[in-house]
């Protein structure tokens, strides 16, 4: 079996939800038997990891959507200005919800076609690549695979940079690069987690942590009030404008695990509007916190991509930093787990029973992530670059194109498992919206956004250099003069 084929197969089997504890109960759940929902409601095991309800999917979507991006949105507002900041958040939030809806429709289509052929998915977790492969063929599968893997790799790098950036605001006795070494070692412990148990509890905790942090940021900024001579001059430069816009495009691009979240549901058809409801909740976190911090600090944010750096040091802030660190550690694990599975399959270690052998085999995945985080410690700029070059395709362009190609024939439209939604009853209207998404994201997100974020990224490298010891840190105070 070739390494590439093994890698592809591994991704399919690498669901974040795949674990021994769920397997037993899930066989009946997948068929949508509701008695499982009521069965042993009060047992601990049920509370912790038998999560397949619409609520679980909502928690997973909401906590996956916002993590460290909360801290960079005020920076984006300083590049875009208040009006564009709010408008683009709402716009990309709705666009992201639309493409998540398309992914759910394609998943249902693929599953119903396969089930008509007699394929059973009781012990198999469907993933996005299989959906693309089943509906559109191997080339689409390869494209989906490439974009998703690279997206997850850089997603992990961003979590690591964010950990070091955040802890520095509690303890600045060590520089950020040293903190990156320390957190790289901490995050490397995720190699010992064979697969994910009790995802339900982590989603719940993760959402609690981001909710606390968002409201802390909003209240702290309002209590602090505006700094002396505050200026809100954005948008000033095209490069900054499109960099900020792309960071917002990235914010609402938490689709890397959409299919896995759906597949873990007892009734996947219920997923259709869950992502939209999750996004509406996320707006209650991102809009108040980003606007309040920008209102208070204005243009100062242009040189502070992490909002924590400007907020006064208090116990409330330290609590927010610690909660975000825990959330980032969890997110690092989520993003890395599919990559671990791929690597294990490539080197033929996936069936090894020994946890220690598997952990050793997985270390080569963590090392490049660690290394990249040390080379490019640019928190905000790297978010924008990932948004423009990876998220634009993975989250927006590929699902919209895939939907158009799947239903291009009249017979496919006639036999579609899911008809167009009530608010867009005709196929032509769906095509029009999909074309708009593809063209908009290709031109504005990938084109202008790619140009701007790479220009900004190169500028950061020129200013701070690669392997920057302490990116965007306060300059050291000069020693006191003795007369």
- The CATH number of whichever domain residue 171 belongs to comes to 1.20.1740.10
Domain housing 263: 52-464
Does some domain include residue 8?
no
Q: What is the mean pLDDT of residues 292-304?
A: 91
**pLDDT (tens digit per residue) in 83-137:** 999 999 999 999 999 999 999 999 999 999 998 998 887 766 677 888 899 999 9
Does some domain include residue 17?
no
Does some domain include residue 22?
no
Does some domain include residue 131?
yes
How many structural domains are present in the chain? 1
Mean predicted lDDT score pLDDT of the chain: 81
Does some domain include residue 351?
yes
pLDDT of residue 380: 66
Does some domain include residue 313?
yes
pLDDT of residue 320: 92
At 188, is the pLDDT very low, low, confident or very high (cuts 50, 70, 90)?
confident
Does some domain include residue 300?
yes
Does some domain include residue 26?
no
CB 344 within 8 A of CB 350: yes
pTM, 2 dp: 0.80
**pLDDT (tens digit per residue) in 399-427:** 999 999 999 999 999 999 988 988 888 99
**pLDDT (tens digit per residue) in 41-70:** 445 555 555 567 788 888 888 887 877 788
């Amino acid at each position: 079996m070739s390494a590439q084929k093994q890698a592809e197969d591994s991704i399919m089997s690498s669901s974040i939800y795949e674990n021994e504890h769920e397997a037993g109960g899930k066989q009946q759940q997948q068929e949508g038997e509701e008695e499982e929902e009521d069965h042993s409601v009060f047992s601990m095991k049920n509370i912790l990891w038998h999560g397949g309800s619409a609520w679980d999917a909502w928690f997973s979507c909401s906590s996956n959507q916002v993590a460290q991006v909360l801290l960079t949105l005020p920076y984006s507002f300083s590049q875009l200005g208040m009006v564009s900041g709010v408008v683009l958040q709402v716009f990309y939030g709705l666009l992201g919800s639309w493409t998540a809806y398309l992914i759910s429709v394609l998943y249902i289509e693929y599953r119903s076609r396969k089930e008509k052929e007699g394929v059973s998915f009781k012990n198999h977790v469907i993933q996005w690549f299989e959906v693309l492969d089943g509906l559109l063929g191997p080339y689409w599968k390869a494209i989906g695979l490439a974009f998703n893997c690279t997206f997850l790799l850089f997603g992990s790098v961003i979590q690591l940079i964010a950990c070091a950036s955040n802890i520095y605001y509690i303890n600045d006795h060590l520089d950020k690069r040293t903190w990156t070494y320390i957190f790289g070692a901490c995050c490397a412990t995720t190699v010992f987690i064979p697969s994910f148990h009790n995802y339900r509890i982590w989603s719940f905790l993760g959402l609690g942590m981001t909710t606390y942090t968002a409201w802390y940021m909003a209240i702290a900024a309002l209590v602090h009030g505006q700094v002396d001579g505050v200026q809100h001059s954005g948008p000033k430069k095209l490069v900054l404008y499109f960099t900020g816009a792309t960071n917002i495009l990235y914010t609402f691009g938490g689709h890397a695990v959409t299919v896995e979240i759906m597949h873990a549901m007892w009734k996947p058809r219920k997923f259709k509007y869950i992502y939209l409801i999750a996004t509406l909740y996320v707006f209650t976190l991102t809009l108040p916190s980003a606007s309040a911090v920008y209102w208070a600090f204005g243009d100062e944010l242009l040189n502070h991509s992490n909002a924590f750096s400007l907020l006064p040091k208090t116990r409330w802030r330290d609590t927010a930093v610690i909660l975000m660190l825990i959330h980032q550690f969890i997110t690092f694990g989520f993003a890395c787990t599919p990559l671990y599975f791929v690597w294990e399959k490539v080197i033929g270690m996936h069936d090894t029973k020994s946890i220690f052998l598997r952990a050793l085999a997985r270390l080569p995945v963590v090392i490049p992530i660690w290394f990249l985080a040390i080379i490019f410690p640019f928190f905000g700029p790297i978010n924008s670059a990932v948004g423009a070059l990876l998220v634009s395709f993975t989250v927006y362009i590929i699902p919209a194109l895939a939907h158009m190609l799947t239903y291009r024939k009249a017979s496919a439209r006639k036999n579609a498992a899911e008809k167009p939604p009530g608010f867009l009853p005709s196929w032509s209207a769906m095509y029009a919206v999909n074309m708009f998404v593809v063209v908009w994201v290709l031109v504005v997100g990938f084109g202008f956004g790619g140009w701007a974020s790479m220009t900004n990224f190169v500028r950061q490298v020129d200013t701070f250099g690669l392997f920057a010891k302490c990116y965007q840190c306060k300059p050291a105070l000069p020693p006191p003069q003795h007369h």
